[in-house]
Amino acid sequence: MLRKTIGIILALLFLSFAAMQYNDPDPMIWIAIYAVTTVVVVLGAFGRIPVIIFAMACTASVIGAFMMWPATYEGLEVGGGDIKNIEEARESLGLLLIAVVMFFYAIMPGRKKRTAPALKPNIQTGHQ
């Protein structure tokens, strides 16, 4: 139950992040990133995604955050420096937040264990 509750709260959070990107200099990529994150979190909350997806999303987010990090960190507030550096820092931190969420979903207990279905013998032929 806790996994589902956290998932719904995080989904609403990431959905609101997606909605706030409309005035971003590159809105479509960030809307897509946060929308996909929302879907992954919802599916993860209900145990519908394998752990490898969370691991891949975490890894991709960390790599993206390091690639996006500005050459010069000038804070997060507009007016505190070059807007390009501020925007890149914000985007990097958004990706790191996604990475943290994906990491915790990968290690969070409560996932349903999925096993391959057992082979049942064919009664007529005696084969499996």
Query: Do the domain assignments include residue 73?
Result: yes
What is the C-alpha separation between 89 and 66, in angstroms, rounded?
A: 10
Domain that holds residue 72: 2-107
- For the chain, the domain total comes to 1
Query: Do the domain assignments include residue 11?
Result: yes
CB neighbour list of residue 89: distance below 8 Å, 6 or more residues apart = 69, 70, 73, 74, 75, 76
pLDDT tens column, 63-75: 999 999 998 888 7
What is the C-alpha separation between 1 and 10, in angstroms, rounded?
A: 14
pLDDT score, position 87: 84
Query: Do the domain assignments include residue 128?
Result: no
Query: Do the domain assignments include residue 79?
Result: yes
pLDDT tens column, 2-24: 889 999 999 999 999 999 998 88
pLDDT tens column, 101-124: 999 998 886 655 555 555 666 666
Looking at the chain, the whole-number percentage of residues with pLDDT higher than 70 is 84
Query: Do the domain assignments include residue 17?
Result: yes
Query: Do the domain assignments include residue 71?
Result: yes
pLDDT score, position 66: 96
Query: Do the domain assignments include residue 122?
Result: no
